[in-house]
Amino acid sequence: RKEVEQDPGPFNVPEGATVAFNCTYSNSASQSFFWYRQDCRKEPKLLMSVYSSGNEDGRFTAQLNRASQYISLLIRDSKLSDSATYLCVVTAQGYNKLIFGAGTRLAVHP
């Protein structure tokens, strides 16, 4: 089993739709969780950290479920500019080793 798994997609949604991605992780000792966004042929950029109580940043909401070992990202009112690959990141084997999921592709169409 991979340490961090994501549905590769693609998720094709119309503008204005709500879309959700999940990411499962295998190490129950993982402490830090993040969502990154990566545009084609660019470096990943931090979208948001994921906190135990869940957190929201504008149209984006992140949740953590430690019991089931997954994190989620919800995007409301999708924009064309949200089209990208979304990567989840989890610490593994201690605090300093950060492992990426393979990413979920989102395509928002008019």
Partner 1 sequence: DGGITQSPKYLFRKEGQNVTLSCEQNLNHDAMYWYRQDPGQGLRLIYYSQIVNDFQKGDIAEGYSVSREKKESFPLTVTSAQKNPTAFYLCASRIDRVQSDNSPLHFGNGTRLTVT
- Does residue number 12 form part of the binding site for partner 1 (CB under 8 A)? no
Query: Do the beta carbons of residue 10 and residue 106 sit within 8 Å?
Result: yes
For residue 62, give the nearest of 100, 93, 89 by alpha carbon. Answer: 89
Query: Do the beta carbons of residue 6 and residue 21 sit within 8 Å?
Result: yes
Integer Cα distance of 79 and 98 in angstroms: 29
Among the residue ranges 15-23, 26-34, 65-73, 75-83, the one whose residues contact partner 1 (CB under 8 A):
26-34
Number of residues that bind partner 1 (CB under 8 A): 23
- Does residue number 87 form part of the binding site for partner 1 (CB under 8 A)? yes
- Does residue number 98 form part of the binding site for partner 1 (CB under 8 A)? yes
- Does residue number 49 form part of the binding site for partner 1 (CB under 8 A)? yes
Helix (H, G, I), strand (E, B) or coil at 90: strand
Site of interaction with partner 1 (CB under 8 A): 31-32, 34, 36, 41-46, 49, 51, 87, 89, 95-103
